[in-house]
Structures are given as structure tokens and as C-alpha cells.
Amino acid sequence: MRILLVEDELDLANALARGLSQQGYVVDIAVDGEQGWAMGEINDYDLVILDLNLPGMDGLEVCRRLRASKPKLLILMLTARSRLEDKVTGLDLGADDYLVKPFHFEELAARIRALLRRDLRVREPILCVGDLKLDPASRTAWQGTRRLKLTRKEFGILHYLMRHPGEVISQEELIEHVWGEDVDLFTGSVRVHIHSLRRKLDDRAEHPRYIETVAGQGYRLLPPEEEGG
Ligand code: CA
């Protein structure tokens, strides 16, 4: 489990990082909001511990931005007792939990364990369609017993199609769910990724076993009973 700790009070940050490392977490420290936002955006963290009162970009803004770009990232806010109204704003902005300073380390550790446990429970289940299997949590996919080496986009496309087997999915819908709605993208690049995904599945557009092209409409993941068409 990898944790990002955004805290400008260095003594506190170092003490927390030391304690968390002893519990087996990998901890990175960011000392201001800008750095916290940049590190949270670039790296894959399981959880962010975010102080609200930071120099430069404040914690609420960091929270808002991280939440917008990483909807599933767990965020635990640290707030001073005098700024309780921030707590409400923070939760509105999508923080998962908060802790009022000063706190005991044991309470922080317990909150982290509770958040990670809750996260495991709500994680998406493994998907199976025919001999395809996909685990969203570990981002792995298999064809039979063979593990597929997919790019992020190929994985995203396959994931979305496997959530809707048998349904025709338009290129626009794939773009919205795999690339994000802010991306301005030519639908031609969806075709490129579908092509490479097919190649990795040893699938052919003319006689699809998996992904069927529905002319003028989009793509369809064939349910097992329709394979070999
Ligand atoms: Ca602070």
C-alpha cells in the first residue's frame, strides 16, 4: 500500500511517515499543495493523507483536483480544530474521511486501515465473458490461462466491453469512458486501439470470436453463445 502524505509541518510529517513505514506502508511526503497535487497526479497511490492548511495551494483545492482526476483515490483530510467548517467543505469536495488535529497516531492508523478495508469491499469484482477474465483491481486480464499484455487504453476498452457483453457500444461511448470526457479525440484512434486489442486476442474483424464491428454503430463483445460467427 502506497501513501502520499501532504503536510507542511516537517516534524509532524516525518513522525507520521516513520510510524506508517513501521506498519508496512510505503510513504511519500509532499511539503506543500502544489507538490502534493503534482505527486498525487503522477503516481499511483492507494491513499492520500492531506493537511488542509498548506502554503500556496490549500488542501481543499488539492482535494478538489485530485478527486476530479482520480475518482477512486482515498483521501483522508487532516484539519485543525479551529477550522471545522473546512471539514464540511472537504467532505463535500470528496474526501473520504477526516481527522482533527491534534490526534493520536493510533487513531490515524485505525482510520487508514478502515478506509482500505472499505475500499477492498467496494472494489469491482472480476469479470468473466467466455474465456476472457479481467480483474479491475489488479488491472490484469487473461484469455484462458494466458495473461494478456495490454496497454492502459486496450485494458480500458476491454473492461468497458466486458461490462456490457452483447451490447453495441459506440466509439463516442468508449471515448467517454476510457479516455475521459474532457479529451478531444478523433474516433479514428479508437479504431487503432481496437485493432491492436484484436491482434492480442488473436481475433479477426472478418470472423470475430470476441469483438464484432457493427457498421455505423460501434463495437460489440460477443457473448459466449454467439462465438465463432
Ligand atoms: Ca499545515
**Domains of the chain by start residue, with CATH:** 2-122 (3.40.50.2300), 127-226 (1.10.10.10)
Q: Are 98 and 79 in contact (CB under 8 A)?
A: yes
Residue 158 has pLDDT above 90, yes or no: yes
pTM: predicted TM-score of the whole model, two decimal places:
0.55
**Ligand 1 mean position, distance from CA 8 (Å):** 5
pLDDT tens digits along 47-90: 999 999 999 999 999 999 999 999 889 999 998 866 667 777 87
**Ligand 1 mean position, distance from CA 61 (Å):** 14
**Ligand 1 mean position, distance from CA 22 (Å):** 23
**Ligand 1 mean position, distance from CA 13 (Å):** 10
**Ligand 1 mean position, distance from CA 164 (Å):** 45
| pLDDT > 90 in the chain, percent | 59
Instruction: Quote the pLDDT of residue 121.
Output: 62
Instruction: Quote the pLDDT of residue 133.
Output: 95
Instruction: Quote the pLDDT of residue 229.
Output: 47
**Ligand 1 mean position, distance from CA 76 (Å):** 14
Q: Are 40 and 94 in contact (CB under 8 A)?
A: no
Measure the N-to-C terminal CA separation of the chain; round to a whole number of Å.
Answer: 44
**Ligand 1 mean position, distance from CA 42 (Å):** 22
One DSSP character per residue, 16-71 reads: HHHHHHHTT-EEEEE-SHHHHHHHHHHS--SEEEEESS-SSS-HHHHHHHHHHH-T
Rounded Cα distance between 194 and 143, Å, is 16
Residue 18 has pLDDT above 70, yes or no: yes
Q: How confident is the model at residue 153 (pLDDT cuts 50, 70, 90)?
A: confident
**Ligand 1 mean position, distance from CA 33 (Å):** 10
What one-character DSSP code corresponds to residue 95?
Answer: -
Q: How confident is the model at residue 180 (pLDDT cuts 50, 70, 90)?
A: low
